[in-house]
Structure 1
Amino acid sequence: MNHLKEIVAVGSIAFDSITTCKGSRQKILGGSSTYFGVAASLFTKVNLIGVVGEDFSDKEWSLFEKYKIDISSVKVEKGETFSWGGIYSDDFSSRETQFTNLGVFETFKPNIDKQYNDSILYLGNIQPQLQFDVINQIKNPSIVAADSMNLWIDLFPEKVKDLISHVDIFMLNDEEAIQLSGSNDLEKIAKEFLSHGPKIVIIKMGSKGSLVAQKNSINYVSVVQGVDVFDPTGAGDSFAGGLLGYVSINGLSDINKAVAYGSAVASYTVAGFGLESLEKINFEDLKLKADSIDIK
């Protein structure tokens, strides 16, 4: 077992308004960093880099305190916190955005004045240039992991491709992988991405699980079965949090097990609105869920 690593994460902190067939919630705490931070804090110390507006209250700050998440690099700027609203289809296969208000996130420029030597660095699915800004400011990270999304692949495909060569772990979903590569063969895509330099490529396939590619292997990691989905928001970020949380303790020696833990954490997230279910995680139950996941 390796020495426990801290995690540094950059991404959005937001207010979400969500409607699904199971109900709705208005202006609840969300954002990629929030979901990632709560998930990863089950395993290790998490440091967040981000920005919020003046409307961010003690109630929201207290959540980060509860999980002992370091928020000293989260800046408060004049204006409103990033907010978003969406409606999911009844089968959760699609989502319609109702509104997006970037607020202070629109002009967010990471300016990191704290040293995070030898930490695991997680680059949430924010604009690629911001991801590079963080890479250039964090000295000697032990592992760099990045996620992306269809918006950035659509707007900045070359930047996203360049990002792949600067990270150890690259994650994205199957639709995004096809969009970025132009191929429909996920194994071929994963091998192509590996050729750019990362040690591990993870392609998330929703209910079908994840494809995990390394230099000499391709594995498939399933998901927790029988989950009653309420709200898929934050599933990908909490997946990354569980995955890198496991890596913070065990290193990269068993990345498939790390992916299983990521899937197990995500199964909690989707079982409630926002953070409602994720906050109820019991670690022993989490281990049982992770152990139930098939790895092929």
Structure 2
Amino acid sequence: MNNNNTLIVGSIGLDTIETVSDRKESILGGSATYATIAAGKSASVHLVGIIGDDFPINGMKIFEESTVDLSNLDQKEGKTFSWGGKYAEDWDNRETLFTELGVFNDFNPILTDKNKEVPVIFLANIHPLLQLSVLNQCNKRKHVIIDTMNLWIDTEREKLKEVISSCDVLLINEFEAEQFTRRKDHDDQGTVLQSLGPQNIIIKCGSKGARLYSGHRVDTVGVFPVKNVVDPTGAGDAFGGGLAASIANGETMIESIINGAALASLTIEGFGIDAIYNASINEVEKRKEHLRTTLNS
């Protein structure tokens, strides 16, 4: 097994996305999808997910290109998970139009022996019980990165705490961090979250960049200036995938955040996966160069 193997677990879906200027139906989406395409640019991805019998052939081709292992990509009879969202003109407010779980309702991954040995694990935004179930099967884990969302903070707080205590990198946005810690100050949020166990807390602050709390140190990374936002869907998932890939490649936490931020900035320049899927390594590197200049500035 290569040294840069990364296990990615999350949702795979067909999204309907509506913006002020356009609407796309049944395009490839889901947290694991964005994370896999991002991570696959520099790491060896083992994808864990579930799809229905309606999943498009081009989606399978994209996964085959972006991964080294699809043994835990289960295809079941029924509909693939689907989600619909509508964005306001300022991009800050998103309305969920529908969520249809389909076969994802029965998602209960049993890892193959090979996948149990992958050292870097990214648990994308799924139910904390599913995250724990996968984590308990991984017997050679070196790094565990988890992402979450406001729904699980509201409904599964104790289970989420259990997951957080088992990871060494927590990804959380500034609104979720306030919701979870009941603190308004980012530094206070970082302290509370670190007390649960993770060595590294990454608070995503949208257009203000990201903050890393690692030990007693605080670092900040800015954003790449995107001139034309097309669709913000999946940016956070791409960030997580890029972060996990760099960690798997032995890069520092700061460099890993920079890689994640570069890939997130690409994601929002196209509908669904289009921009990140088509992005060249040169373009990613160019954005990373810019992001390095924003460190602690």
* Partner secondary structure for residue 104 of structure 1: helix
Contact 1:144 1:168 in 2 (8 A): yes
Q: C-alpha displacement at 1:282, in angstroms? A: 1.5
Q: Deviations over 1:45-96 (max 9, x none)?
A: 1011111111113222111112244221011112110001010010100100
| Paired amino acid for 1:266 | A
**TM-score, normalization by structure 2:** 0.95
Q: Distance in 1 between the 2:182 and 2:150 partners? A: 13
Match of 2:168 in 1: 168
Quote the Cα distance in structure 1 between the aligned partners of 2:108 and 2:67. Answer: 24
- Structure 2: give runs of 5+ residues left out of the alignment: none
What's the secondary structure of 2:136's corresponding residue?
Answer: helix
User: Deviation digits for residues 213-239 of structure 1, max 9, x if unmatched?
Assistant: 001201111010133110000000001
Distance in 1, matches of 2:253 and 2:67, equals: 26
User: Do the aligned partners of 2:46 and 2:67 also contact (CA within 8 Å) in 1?
Assistant: no
Deviations along 1:240-280, whole A, 9 cap, x unmatched?
111111111124xx211211111110111000000111122
Unaligned stretches of 5+ in structure 1?
Answer: none
Q: Does 1:261 align with 2:229?
A: no
With normalisation by structure 1, the TM-score equals 0.95
Amino acid paired to 1:234: G
Map 1:141-180 onto structure 2 (within 5 A): 141-180=141-180
Runs (4 or more) in structure 1 with deviation over 3 Å come to none
1:85, 1:98 within 8 Å by CA — same for their partners in 2? Answer: yes
* Residues 43-82 of structure 1: pairs in structure 2 closer than 5 A: 43-82=42-81
Q: Does the CA-based 8 Å contact 1:227-1:267 persist in structure 2?
A: no
SS at match of 2:126: coil
Whether the 8 Å CA contact 1:115–1:139 is kept in 2: the answer is: no
Q: Residue 7 in 1 paired to residue 6 in 2?
A: yes
Distance 2:227 2:9 in 1: 29
Contact 1:37 1:69 in 2 (8 A): no
* Paired position in structure 2 for 1:285: 283
* CA displacement 1:20-56 (0-9 Å, x = unmatched): 1231110001100110000000111101111111111
- Secondary structure (helix, strand or coil) at the match of 2:113 reads coil
Give the aligned partner of residue 41 of structure 2.
Answer: 42
Residue 229 of structure 2 aligns with an amino acid whose one-letter code is: V
Q: Distance in 1 between matches of 2:99 and 2:22?
A: 20
Report which stretch shifted further, 212-221 or 55-64. 55-64
Q: 2:47–2:67: 8 Å Cα contact kept in structure 1?
A: no
- Distance between the aligned counterparts of 1:127 and 1:42, measured in 2? 27
C-alpha distance in 2 between matches for 1:80 and 1:97:
19
Alignment match, 2:236 = 236
**Offset from partner CA, 1:84-134 (integer Å, 9 cap, x none):** 101001010010011110001112111112323252001011000000000
Q: Report the Cα distance in structure 2 between the residues aligned to 1:86 and 1:69, rounded to whole angstroms.
A: 31
SS at match of 1:61: helix
Contact (CA 8 Å) 1:271, 1:277: kept in 2 or not? yes
Query: 1: distance between equivalents of 2:265 and 2:190?
Result: 24
Task: Find the residue that maps to 1:146 and give its secondary structure.
Answer: strand
* Native 8 Å contact 1:7 1:248 kept in 2: yes
The Cα offsets for residues 172-222 of structure 1, whole Å up to 9 and x where unpaired, read as: 101111111111111111111112211100010101000110012011110
| Mapped partners of 2:112, 2:67: distance in 1 | 20
Aligned counterparts of 2:241 and 2:38: Cα–Cα separation in 1: 5
Between Structure 1 and Structure 2, how many residues are aligned?
Answer: 292
The more displaced of 70-79 and 131-140 is 70-79
Aligned counterpart, 2:199: 199
